[in-house]
Chains A and B, each alone.
Chain A
Amino acid sequence: MSRLPTLLALAGLLAAAAVLGLAFGSAESPTREIVLEIRLPRVVLGMLVGAGLATAGALLQALLQNPLADPFLLGISGGAALGGVAAVALGGGALLGLSVPALAFAGALGATALLYAIAAAGGRAPAHSLLLTGVVFNAFASSVIVFLTTAVELNRVAGVFLWLIGSIRLVDDAMIACVAALIGLGLGVGLYYAYSLNLLTQGDEAAAHLGVDVPRVRRHVLLATALMIGASVAVSGIVGFVGLIVPHLLRLVVGADHRVLIPASALFGAALVTSADTLARTVLAPTELPVGAFTALIGGPLFLWLLRRELSR
């Protein structure tokens, strides 16, 4: 399928998701203020988080040469969450402070480095060692998070946990701008290296034979991935499976060329999380469900199906 019509169709899908996100919510006859000051930032954040996680997933899958990679399953989101909670617990500052994205980024980067050191030392990483490292790191991060929350004032613990299971929080405009800048930067780096990533999926050695400076591409793309995951987690906690589902579904439609797959993942990821967040706000209104619960509802079974297919190969 040619790239432009596909990308335009996905942009249309995203526009529709945004309009629905603005039109529906807990208020039945929303005022202009509700739409502009509550729903609009939510929709914008949903788009950013979705684009960031889906793009990060596509980049990780190429880097690890493994289509089962996902920021959540590999523990990178967990590392970011650990950083975020540490910022709240140790800094004592508001959850909105810029120390949260900074430490979330540090956590994401640390988890990625660990993943590399343990599971992917030789370039190509077998699915089981990646997933095992992710499971163990997630368990470790959760324990540390529990430990850290004992340092958080009691009346804010519930907020921290709601954030952890993946819910988009309303933040001020400066924070939205910061998240947009980080995710935009990561997306830019991903697009710049899109063709090199095609070559990298052929294996580190094959990519080097085709003229790719593998260590440099790997370093830059990993940084971009950690930036996007850190920024996403800072405002939405752990929204799982987006990075897995989106590139997978899109590969069935647009193929494996990252020059199309990366922009398509950003658009489709944005549409998916925006829609999931609209559902999370409306199905049980006025009670709000965490958006992470919705993505996991679709992503969990899909992942198991993919895993079974992968293992039977």
Chain B
Amino acid sequence: MLAALVIVFREVIEAGLIVGIVLAATRGVPGRGRMVALGVAGGIAGAGLLAAFAGRLGAAFAGAGQELFQAGVLIAAVAMLAWHTIWMASHGRAIARELRALGAAVSSGRSKLAMLGVVVGIAVLREGSEVVLFLYGIAATGGSSAPGIVLGGTLGVLAGAAVAGLVYRGLLAIPAGRLLAVTGWLITLLAAGMASQAVAFLQQGGFAELLVEPVWDTSWLLADGSIVGRLAHTLVGYTDQPDGLQLLVYAATVATITLLARAVRAAAAPSSAPSSGPDSAARAARGRGAA
């Protein structure tokens, strides 16, 4: 039971982190609850389908179907997160002002909500399909331990959801004026991490076999397999042995989002006040370096 709890928990927690950040980033936008719920429901349905067709997907594209699919959905998520962040650069300040002035009454931003809904859906789809496969395997092979494993799995889902709630609560403790800046760079790093993971999947599938040497190894400090390592992996794309191409794509993603956000902001507000938006935070984050 404990093993099932741990396995399910660590899959759910990864999707949970993303849901928590998206909820915080869309604070006060009307309809966001419905959009996130739709994303989660769509992701669960997709996870079931993905698990059911795991065999066929794995066999597609000369055995690289799974990697191409994973890389594809990750890249789609990166594009949507990038779009969201850059769009927030032009409107984030107005939204933050409204949040302060009018509490939760923000009328703009609804159309971009759909993108974050899709990001939530993709996160649930990816992690959920593993949970489905794992639990289905237990059910298929039966055994006396099955009820305990189902119980463990259920507890794992609940614990993962609790972490999502904690992340959301924690982010909401940030004052409204700073919240959008914080979620802006959180989402930028999330996107960069996803881009570098997409690279890892392409390399695993036998594509893009360049710069595959690990550049450093910090597994003695924080191993990918540990819970903290997985959290860092989801949040900022941490991996204990990043290879050259992963680092390159990570840096390129952060730079692209940051520079475009800055350009858009400059165009939107020519007489701009001191910067406090996602791009300045992302700039600070870039200095910190990760991947």
Q: Do A and B come from one complex?
A: no
Chain A contacts to B: CB under 8 angstroms: none
B residues lining the A interface (CB < 8 Å):
none
